[in-house]
Amino acid sequence: MSSTERLAGPAPTSLVLIGHPVSHSLSPRFQQAALDAAGKPVRYTARDVPPHAVPETLRSLRASGGAGNVTVPHKEAVARECAVLTPVAHRAGAVNTFGVDARGVLVGHNTDVEGAQQAIRAVMLGNAPTSALVLGAGGSAAAVLLALEALGVTRIDVSARSRDRAEALIQRLALTHIARTVGEPRCDADTGIVINTTPLGLHADDPAPLALPSLSSTCAVLDLVYRPGETAWVREARARGHRAEDGLRMLVAQGAAAYAWWFGEAADVTAMWRVLEPRSPVATPS
């Protein structure tokens, strides 16, 4: 099932974002804007769900016919709770979008892969890198790896706190032909893009995911973390002349893909971006 297909069931009458934490998320703001623009009497809310409460929360949402999105740290846990996974969610082992089908079955989907592809293309000015460095080995990293594969990247280095976890992720995704684990993150002269999939940068006092002086001048930077004013890492990268973006474009793109999956129609992306102003896509140096 591709992200252009619709969930095989009734359109949801309520939508919720579950995560821990969720107070920083912009998803309720731009998803509600799209719903309002379409005249849909549906409310999109955020719910902070601690890890132990994920199964019961999903049971309650399934019983009420609710649907929604999933953010950190629950994407892999929700994948385990869904009775049915779409092919992309099954391969990623992570769910960021879910709904209830006509049988009342909880279905998990993943639109992060599509969102990551759009963000990578944008920061690469429409081109696909031949090699990449990915920081992290969680659910978001899985989506990024699959996006890089779809874009034709021929070499991916993966660096994570647990090298064993990174190796297991590569094995599970069947990407050993193009991906490998590395210890300390490093960029070669031909590394086209470095992508941070860890939470580093969510808080102002977080250390940088990677020291920027180690990057070649042509390497692009994509940080899946987003925050008001962008992350310090993105700001520094752009100041050094790198093409750089935070995770906002990916967030909106995956949200629009989720909307299409729930309702079988395109979201009003202009309305989504309008409520995020001045956080519209930034111009990056060529």
What residues are annotated to the active site? 75
List the strands of the sheet with 244-245, edge to edge.
179-181, 155-159, 131-135, 193-196, 220-223, 244-245
Residue 200 per-residue DSSP state: T
State the DSSP H helix or E strand holding residue 194, giving kind and residue range, or none if neither: strand 193-196
* Residue 144 burial (CB count, 10 A): 30
Amino acid identity, position 63: A
- Beta bridge partner(s), residue 135: 159, 196
248-263 and 112-123 helices, crossing angle to 10°: 140
- Beta bridge partner(s), residue 67: 15
Between CA 269 and CA 81 the distance in angstroms is 30
